[in-house]
Amino acid sequence: MPILEVGGLSVSYGSALILDEVSLEVEFSQCVAVLGPNGAGKTTLLRAISRMVPSRGSIRYDGKEITSTSPHRLPGMGVVHCPENRHLFPEFTVMENLEMGAFTRRDKKAMGEDLERCFRIFPVLAKRKGQLAGTMSGGEQQMLAIARAMMGKPRLLLLDEPSIGLAQVVKEQIFQAVREIKGLGVTLLLVEQDTTMALGIADQVYILKQGRIAASGALEELFRDTRIKDLYLGMG
């Protein structure tokens, strides 16, 4: 059974239909990438899954319908959202941001271990524990956002454009980290515009265009289809 099943998901803002009957599945401990141009509805899809925007259709997590679940209940259930534009707490320190990530948790000991793991994946954060998040560079902020999400002990991590606006070297660091996180057995739903990067991690790919799934499949299948490759993957 997939850990996440989205079926016929539609979202409208006023009269504008932003997502039109989107369906997708994420298997346990896989990485599914949703690719697509700016404005395709990728962020809206993740926000609908974490119940930040109202939607029609079904969203099943762990076999349970979560469409009527309050958004703040999801992290406790293992669905953690690392949002677009990071949304750090700028006036909290690095450490305080990480503590907020573990807000719903009570398992002090495991939290300490997770913290050590975050510092292992992102050594720069260990050096900046006391720094205010708002004063860090873009790359460091993105690392903190991912680390903060990891402190929530996700089973399913929704990751929205972690590489956006970053220099190539930093992008590679971020993706190395995402690969490590996948290696820990965390299921990933990754949204990206940087196709090349995402393809290095994803097991399954969905291509979203104007609110609809335009293509989907395992990586190799999509690669064999040169039409898709040229049209959507931007690697022609």
Partner 1 sequence: MGYDILINGSINGAFYALLALGFCLMFGVARLVNLYHGSYYMLAAYFTYLFAVLLRWPLLLAVAASLSGVVAVAILVDRVCVNRVRQSSIAVMICTLGLAYFTQYLVRILFGPRYLSIPAFVSGNAGILGVVIPSTRLLAFGVGIGLILALWAFIGKTRAGRSIMAVAQDPEAATYMGINTAAAFTMATGISAFLAGVAGTVVAPFLSVDPGMWLLPLIKAFAIVILGGLGSLWGSVLAAFLLGYLETGVSLLLSTNVREIVFLAVVLLVLIIKPSGLLGKSLTA
Catalog residues that contact partner 1 under the rule CB under 8 A: 50, 52, 70-76, 80-83, 87-92, 96, 99-101, 103-104, 148-149, 152
Which is closer to Mg ion, CB of 37 or CB of 90?
37
* Gyration radius of the chain over CA positions: 17
- Whole-angstrom distance, CA of residue 9 vs CA of residue 48: 8
Shortest spacing between CB 91 and partner 1, in angstroms: 5
What is the binding site for ligand ADP (CB under 6 A)? 13, 18, 36, 38-44
- Going by the DSSP 8-state scheme, the letter that residue 132 receives in this structure is B
Which is closer to ligand ADP, CB of 104 or CB of 193?
193
Report the residue number whose CB is nearest to Mg ion.
Answer: 43
CB 149 within 8 A of CB 104: no
Q: Quote the strand ranges of the chain, DSSP E.
A: 4-13, 16-26, 31-35, 56-61, 64-65, 79-82, 156-160, 187-192, 204-209, 212-218
- Whole-angstrom distance, CA of residue 101 vs CA of residue 46: 18
39 binds, among Mg ion, ligand ADP, partner 1, none (CB under 5 to 8 A by kind): ligand ADP
What is the binding site for Mg ion (CB under 5 A)? 43, 84
71 binds, among ligand ADP, Mg ion, partner 1, none (CB under 5 to 8 A by kind): partner 1
CB 61 within 8 A of CB 9: no
What lies within 8 Å, CB to CB, of 127 at 6+ separation is none
Which is closer to ligand ADP, CB of 36 or CB of 162?
36
40 binds, among ligand ADP, Mg ion, partner 1, none (CB under 5 to 8 A by kind): ligand ADP
Shortest spacing between CB 76 and partner 1, in angstroms: 5
38 binds, among Mg ion, ligand ADP, partner 1, none (CB under 5 to 8 A by kind): ligand ADP
CB 189 within 8 A of CB 46: yes
Which is closer to ligand ADP, CB of 44 or CB of 97?
44
Read off the tokens for 233: 């993957």
